[in-house]
Structure 1
Amino acid sequence: MSRFEGKRILITGGTSGMGLAGAQRIVREGGHVAITGLNEERLERARSLLPETSLILKSDAASEADITALQTAISGWGSLDGLWLNAGFAEVGSLESVTADAFNHMMNANVRGPMLQLAVLSDLLNQYASVLVTSSSSVYEGAAMTSLYAATKGAVVAMVKSWASALAERGIRANTLVPGPIETNFRHFMPEESRQQFEDFVVSQVPLGRVGTAEEAAAVALFLLSDDASYVTGSQYAVDGGLVHN
């Protein structure tokens, strides 16, 4: 397959999990990738796994300075045929535990970050490009401990619907990926002692009876980023083993 032959795709949060799996597959299908991340070890590992022609940047979605630097770097790299805004993080806790600092931190990374990233990168998107943003099945699970995280990912869904309308006149599509329990980042934000119990509970609710792989999530992401989805915009695609439909 060569769906991405000669195309340039930027993936934020692309140094691990489904972002990295997607970057590797884009390269195999003839494309060029730029990825961002924060963890130095993961950045180095990504450099060892991707071609030297790839652009690998340390960048924080919550930092306005880093967003400006990202715009500069991509301007020098080339215009984009695809933009996957995948960077973000999660923490869980009771509703009483939410503080103003915690709220601002997560909103800045998960909502303000992709909003400002698209704002500065929009002019670098080619006609008929594709924009994809990662949300989460947490939006629909109604779990008691994920209200702040779910709120940020619910905001993403609303943003993308408006983006689909705003970008349509340029032939640019915008869609949302809604991953459920994916093994490489499955509730990694939880304390180790409670993670297994929570995972067992969530998996018991999944009709397919297992967690998904990074490659399975990336496959759906790449469909939406490719011309195979040329008539798909403003949509949400769940990769969750049936969790939110159960």
Structure 2
Amino acid sequence: MNSAAHPPSVPAAPDRSSLRQAALAHLARFGTTRHGLGQVLLRRVARWQRQAVAAGAEPDQADATARQLGGTVAQVVAEMVAAGAVDDSAFARSRVRRLTRSGRSGRAIAAHLAARGVEAQVSAQALSGDADSTPESALSIPGHTPLNATERDLCAAVVLARKRRLGPFNPAAGEDTQDPFDDDTDGGGNAPRANARAKALGVLARAGFARDTAERVLDMDPEEAQDWLERLKGEP
């Protein structure tokens, strides 16, 4: 059969109902921001536009319909926000907790949130750990004081130090033996130890931690480092 004589039918453009269903399906599987949800729905519109043009629709008409659907996407996203299904503040708090526990610095987390469309003010509140950005359930825990931004960054640096076996987690620290982070094999004096510390500082700096935070972590004894890890673990 000659396919050119029987072109495929142009698919129907998504409408408000189908976009709303797509939004609900996405939210059932993933946490996201209003910007993120909007991008998901706009990609759905763009996919329809490509398929419509490939099926024989006039490009100008398909483009005009896609622009019109952009307004519908904005309405659907606003509806999800109003219903509480999308909450940028809650998303930011969740990501701050998760990424801190993985050893990400406040700078790295702020960049992550910005890339997902979280407004700078919302991101700053989530990172600050102030009462306005802390759930009431956490504030009601007896004896619980939420970590502030400095303490959270310190905890994250401790997590990274544990992962990379730096500072208090370096079994060779304080020993008069060749440091495992040093490439010099002469086994002599303080130079290998100083070189190892410089490399450890570099690891923490590249991860986005301030010099004073990195120095403090590297100077911790194992007991203090564990105390900070326990403090982080106790965060709701």
With the shorter chain as reference, the TM-score category is under 0.3
Larger Rg: 2
Structure having the higher helix fraction is: 2
TM-score for both structures, normalised by structure 1: 0.24
